[in-house]
Amino acid sequence: MRFFYLDPGLRDNVGHQANTCRAVTSELRRRGVETFVAASAEVTDELKAEVNARPIFKYPNAWLQNGEPVAGWLSVFLQGTTATTGELMQLPPTQAGDVVFLNSALPVQLMAIANWVTHIPPDRRPRVVIEFGIGPGLEAHKVGDTLQYETIDPRQDPRSVLYRHIGNNIPAEIRQHLVLTTFDPISSNAFAFATGIETKVLPLPQQAYWPPRTKVGKRPLTVSVLGHQRWDKGYQLMPEVIPILLARHQDICFLAHNAAPDQMADTQAHIRALAENSLRVIVDERPADDRHWRYLFAASDIILCPYKPLRYLTSYSALAVEALANGIPAVVPDETSLSRFLIENEGGVVTFSEMTPQAIANAASLALQAFDDLADAAFEAAQSWNNHDRKALLVDAILGEAH
């Protein structure tokens, strides 16, 4: 058996994709499984060397529109599918028993990989596990205890329409080789609705970077926002949230980490200005490789996730899992994958219902006031979570019957 790890978006240490690649490929190599990593053609030299990646994919995996107002989304899909199918054809020939894992797929990648499998002789077709790291582009509404989904006008967001088209047009003899997955049960339900294909749930791979230690009694405290910041992650609200928290709580610092500062330049300029005027505001603009993630989590006492609730209703957040794994209390939006996960695993969590500076600041204040109780819960949850080898569980699930 050989393992093919495919990710057209694997290019640097911005975002979660490098961490997922490290988790899966390090476990495979520990087991002695021959592993081939295919990454973006723009993968950095540092990351390429670290995970032994080959720069294959030239087509951008997040390009959904081209500006043409009526059917630009369809032109982009067709162009991307053709280009990505051609890139997949460059991979070494597969054999029956091989396993392929496609990380963070979008419609272009799903269609392209189905096309690619079609070109492989039936007796050499591998098991192909496809993970969706971004939601299916559905409008979700809560009705009682259930979610109902509606498609969105493809001129605004074509994902759900394209997923349904793809699901309807993958031949049965190809579909039997494909395993659709996400890391969250609600996300999997949404993708099953969008594609019309059963979508399974993978075990989360995040593990503590060090043995969990209790933070009960620790003072002063550092509140952190971490990661690749975007509008749907609420980073634009931080210039208002940070001053509120600093004024209310004299014994805290605020760590603002943004791995892609140029993508939110105006917001980042405001936060830099806050740091220039207060030693209690720390700005970190470095992409987070494995070592730097360790530093960021060690420096954080409360992780603030000021995320857009609707966006994370059907999408999971690796940062919430990292918070639980490392025993760090978190402030997250209510009724999302983040709150569901932390509550189900009895982590230290406070939620907010409205994506406003005041609501987010109020939730963070509650977390600071109840910190010792939250820290105790976070410590207990981390100990329980880390009783299992999470990387091994994920790789076992991906290998499935081929293991």
Taking only the tens place, the pLDDT of each residue in 314-369 is 888 999 999 999 999 999 999 999 999 999 999 999 999 999 999 999 999 999 99
What DSSP state is assigned to residue 101? E
Mean pLDDT of 72-81: 95
Burial of 240 (0-12, 13-18, 19+ CB in 10 A): middle
Which runs of consecutive H residues, i.e. helices, occur in 184-289? 185-195, 238-248, 265-277
Judged by average pLDDT, the poorest of 69-78, 164-173, 312-321, 381-390 is 312-321
Query: At CA 277, angle to CA 270 and CA 219, rounded to 5?
Result: 105
- pLDDT of amino acid 142: 79
- pLDDT of amino acid 85: 97
Task: Tell whether the model's pLDDT for residue 196 goes beyond 50.
Answer: yes
Q: Strand 34-40 to strand 2-6: parallel, antiparallel, or no bridges (unpaired)?
A: parallel
- pLDDT of amino acid 40: 96
Residue 54 three-state SS: strand
- pLDDT of amino acid 143: 82
Mean pLDDT of 294-313: 94
Q: For the chain, count helices (H), then strands (E).
A: 15, 15
Q: Torsion over CA of 141, 144, 146 and 151, rounded to 10 degrees?
A: -20
Which two structure tokens, joined as six digits, stand for 239? 């210039």
- pLDDT confidence bin for 145, thresholds 50/70/90: confident
- pLDDT confidence bin for 136, thresholds 50/70/90: very high
The proportion of the chain whose per-residue pLDDT surpasses 90, expressed as a percent, equals: 87
Separation between Cα atoms, residue 118 and residue 111, nearest integer Å: 11
- pLDDT of amino acid 402: 42
Task: Tell whether the model's pLDDT for residue 27 goes beyond 90.
Answer: yes
CB 390, CB 194: distance < 8 Å: no
Q: List 182's β-bridge partners, or say none.
A: 201
**Mean pLDDT for the chain?**
94
- pLDDT of amino acid 403: 41
Separation between Cα atoms, residue 19 and residue 7, nearest integer Å: 12
Separation between Cα atoms, residue 289 and residue 291, nearest integer Å: 6
- pLDDT confidence bin for 65, thresholds 50/70/90: confident
Q: Which CATH number fits domain 221-385: 1.10.3720.10, 3.40.50.2000, 3.30.479.30, 3.40.50.150?
A: 3.40.50.2000
Helices 357-369 and 371-385: angle between axes, nearest 10 degrees: 80
**Range among 12-26, 206-220, 339-353 with highest mean pLDDT value:** 339-353
Q: Give 283-296 pLDDT, tens digit per residue.
A: 999 988 888 999 99
Task: Tell whether the model's pLDDT for residue 62 goes beyond 90.
Answer: no
- pLDDT of amino acid 401: 53
Q: Which CATH number fits domain 2-206+390-402: 3.40.50.2000, 3.40.50.1820, 3.30.559.10, 3.30.420.40?
A: 3.40.50.2000
Separation between Cα atoms, residue 241 and residue 399, nearest integer Å: 44
Buried b / exposed e along 86-104 (16+ C-beta atoms within 10 A): ebbeeeeebeeebbbbbbb
Q: Give 214-265 pLDDT, tens digit per residue.
A: 999 999 999 999 999 999 999 999 999 999 999 999 999 999 999 999 999 9
- pLDDT of amino acid 13: 86
Separation between Cα atoms, residue 16 and residue 318, nearest integer Å: 7
Nearest one of 353, 331, 352, 357 to 342, comparing CA atoms: 331
Q: List 337's β-bridge partners, or say none.
A: none
Q: Where in the chain is the domain with CATH 3.40.50.2000?
A: 2-206+390-402, 221-385
pTM of the model: 0.92
Separation between Cα atoms, residue 130 and residue 111, nearest integer Å: 11
Nearest one of 114, 183, 96, 194 to 402, comparing CA atoms: 96
Task: Tell whether the model's pLDDT for residue 140 goes beyond 80.
Answer: yes
The proportion of the chain whose per-residue pLDDT surpasses 70, expressed as a percent, equals: 99
